[in-house]
Amino acid sequence: MAISPEQKMDLLVSLCKRRGFVYPDSEIYGGFANAFDYGPYGVELKNNIRDEWWNRFVKLRDDVVGLDAPIIQNPKMWDASGHTQNFSDPLVDCKKCKSRFRADHLLEAKQAEPGYDKEKPVEMKDIRCPKCNGELTDVRQFNMMFKTAVGVTDDASSVAYLRPETAGGMFVAWKNIRDSVRKRLPFGVAQVGKAFRNEITPGNFIFRTREFEQMEIEVFCQPHLAPEVFEQWLAEMKSWVFDVLKLSPKNVVFHEISAEERAFYSQRTVDIEYAYPFGVKELYGIANRTDYDLSRHAEFSKEDLRWLDPETNEKVLPYVVEPTWGLTRSVLAVLCEHLDIDEADTADGADKEPRMVLRLPPRLAPVKAAVFPLQKKDEMASLAKELVAALRAKGIVTEYDESASIGKRYRRQDEIGTPWCFTVDFDSVNDKTVTVRDRDAMTQERLAIADVPAWVAERL
Ligand code: GAP
């Protein structure tokens, strides 16, 4: 069924709340701007994406090791990385309605207006408040790091920060990792965790939040190998996007960032963008960060962070290629990509009605199988409960549901993305078979109950 991008986003947000994927946080207190709870199915979907990522890129490889560093670390590291100085966005306020905006976003929006001359430079002075048309203040820089105080005193010496990215922890731990794992370059260090940014204009549901999760890898390599390592990890990211998340190629853009636009230390940056219903925007990124991070940390910590090349016996400061993934942004892209509306039979089978379905890749789906007894009592219910136990014994996340009509039970599982539903009916009692119904094709076939756990495991 054709729906507009705005309708799609509204449907997604309401489905997420109704079915327990994502809720507005602290709702009983009137909510808290831009904070969200990942509900029972949302946390499973997020954890499944994280676990796929960790297995694929850490556990099943020889050349990547994991790390779990604290969220609050020695604040000197943020001086070295340049965050205390430069991690800021250009900010303007409306003098009339007091709304706050990112100046660069307003410039971009002006440039995108229909009929706007793209060759003409956009001036901030030409822009008025998009909400009330009021006059805007001059642009000033706003540091996005969340400051906190550590210890019993609250003075300059106690200032610390919530990390604005997970990457920093991996640079700071590099010396210990280098000395303890004795790996040959190139090798990567991976970390998954929360990051915090006091974003000026958060929004678009969970796209840009102040608290979010990242999955990052810092690949340390000999300087001359960095371009090759970059290509390898770009290919890994492509494979992740298409083979694991199953995003459609028409919705994904690989945006080569020009030399003028990228950070001064980067030799190459590619942004991986996704066509969300609210526009094409960043999903992930990969950058060749050269030796910028390690040279800054070596300078500020006075430690030797070079690596001894066993072949040449020379010490080199490694370059770093950094593929970075937003975990919470992955959840959003997966939900946007796989939410679909088609048609299914009505309860009496006489007509068709719209059906909302999350066509999630089975490995990412929060629930893999649902089992329904046609009737609540006696043998059908006990056979169904036995099947649930057999599926769970194989580690397959399964739900048992005996409430409402079978049609309604299907609809509920379709909306949470469960790939297979099994119905135990009158025939099951005699011949020990069940009907399996496929979420996407809506086809049904008969299977021996004893074969069901292996049948599901084979498809995951
Ligand atoms: N270490 C590099 C780094 O942090 P980034 O482009 O600022 O680079 C990496 O962030 C990824 O983190 C982004 O591609 C995006 O997926 C995610 N991300 C960044 N800011 C975010 C926010 N405010 N809310 C949700 N995800 C965010």
Distance CA 135, CA 217 (A): 43
- Do 152 and 97 belong together in one domain? no
- In angstroms, what is the span from residue 248 Cα to ligand 1's centroid? 22
Look at strands 64-66 and 187-196 and give their pairing. parallel
Q: Tokens 């074969």 map to which residue?
A: 451
Domain span holding position 424: 367-459
- Do 14 and 96 belong together in one domain? no
Distance CA 35, CA 166 (A): 20
- Do 165 and 233 belong together in one domain? yes
Q: Going by CA atoms, what residue is nearest to atom 1 of ligand 1?
A: 167
- Do 168 and 36 belong together in one domain? yes
Q: Is residue 359 part of a domain?
A: no
Q: Is residue 174 part of a domain?
A: yes
Per-residue pLDDT reduced to its tens digit, 286-339: 999 999 999 999 999 999 999 999 889 999 999 999 999 999 999 999 999 999
Pocket of ligand 1 from Cβ distances under 6 Å: 165, 167, 197, 199, 208-209, 212, 214, 216, 282-285, 322, 324, 326, 328-329
Which atom of ligand 1 lies nearest, measured to the CA of 271?
Answer: 14
Mean pLDDT of 223-238: 98
- Do 279 and 295 belong together in one domain? yes
Phi, psi of 71 (to 5 degrees): -75, -35
Look at strands 398-400 and 369-373 and give their pairing. parallel
Distance CA 102, CA 202 (A): 10
- Do 419 and 323 belong together in one domain? no
Per-residue pLDDT reduced to its tens digit, 233-253: 999 999 999 999 999 999 999
Which atom of ligand 1 lies nearest, measured to the CA of 208?
Answer: 24
Q: Going by CA atoms, what residue is nearest to atom 12 of ligand 1?
A: 326
Q: Is residue 326 part of a domain?
A: yes
Q: Is residue 281 part of a domain?
A: yes
The pLDDT assigned to 440 comes to 95
Q: Going by CA atoms, what residue is nearest to atom 23 of ligand 1?
A: 208
Q: CATH no. for residue 389?
A: 3.40.50.800
Residues in the chain: 460
Q: Tokens 């929006």 map to which residue?
A: 109
- In angstroms, what is the span from residue 332 Cα to ligand 1's centroid? 13
Per-residue pLDDT reduced to its tens digit, 53-90: 999 999 999 999 999 999 999 999 999 999 999 998 88
Task: Quote the pTM value.
Answer: 0.93
Mean pLDDT of 433-445: 96
- Do 252 and 303 belong together in one domain? yes
Which atom of ligand 1 lies nearest, measured to the CA of 326?
Answer: 16
Quick check: 353 pLDDT over 90? no
Per-residue pLDDT reduced to its tens digit, 368-410: 999 999 988 789 999 999 999 999 999 999 999 999 899 999 9
Quick check: 41 pLDDT over 80? yes
Q: Is residue 78 part of a domain?
A: no
Q: How much of the chain, in percent, has pLDDT values that exceed 90?
A: 81
The pLDDT assigned to 350 comes to 79
Number of neighbours of residue 285 by Cβ within 10 angstroms: 19
Where does a domain end: 335, 359, 390?
A: 335
Distance CA 124, CA 442 (A): 54
Mean pLDDT of 198-212: 91
Tally the domains of the chain. 3
